[in-house]
Structure 1
């Protein structure tokens, strides 16, 4: 299974957990690929930090106002950006934007990209151009 598919599976599990409250272990299943499990467990382990960053850089939006799917796409991407040095920044952001294009409202890709890029700049992971 490709990493992009495993990212999508992690987002879906986290989304379902948010919406239904079902345990992540039940949503993932014992046969989930290791990368998917690591993403979900990493998001859960760092949820407070990740959610705080989303709220801080999603100007004018509280975490609760952000659609659950968009919120979880950003959570997975931020976990990768902040805690997975093996995943290039551009890959984490591009994968998140692609998921937003496929599964969210028309304005979601721009919003997701903006929040992730703002966090990356604030953390010194990219330089501002210009």
Structure 2
């Protein structure tokens, strides 16, 4: 899938979503409320922007409420990113953190989008350093 660097905001039952393609990763920002009324549309939207060879930063720092069933979003993302072999990270608001901790779910948290991008850049650098070693031994 290709898309422009910025997509227009999509509003869906109390949540707004926007995707931004950066050099290091795709950043999907969701603000508002995530609940049973919009979780399927949100999951579908996020999955559209999980691309091969492009890590995903999911910015939920502007989420005001996060319903218990919204945890399924993380399972969907983890499955898709795992299948494509890409990293992902979540910037979480307090309501998101509280629900994840309450359900004891493992989620790759980061403190900010710049921190996630820095982490992804370090991963790229490590792979680049390893590549010449793999080529020489082959």
TM beyond 0.5: no
The structure with the largest alpha-carbon Rg is 2
State TM-score, norm by structure 2: 0.30
More strand by share: 2
State TM-score, norm by structure 1: 0.31
More helix by share: 1
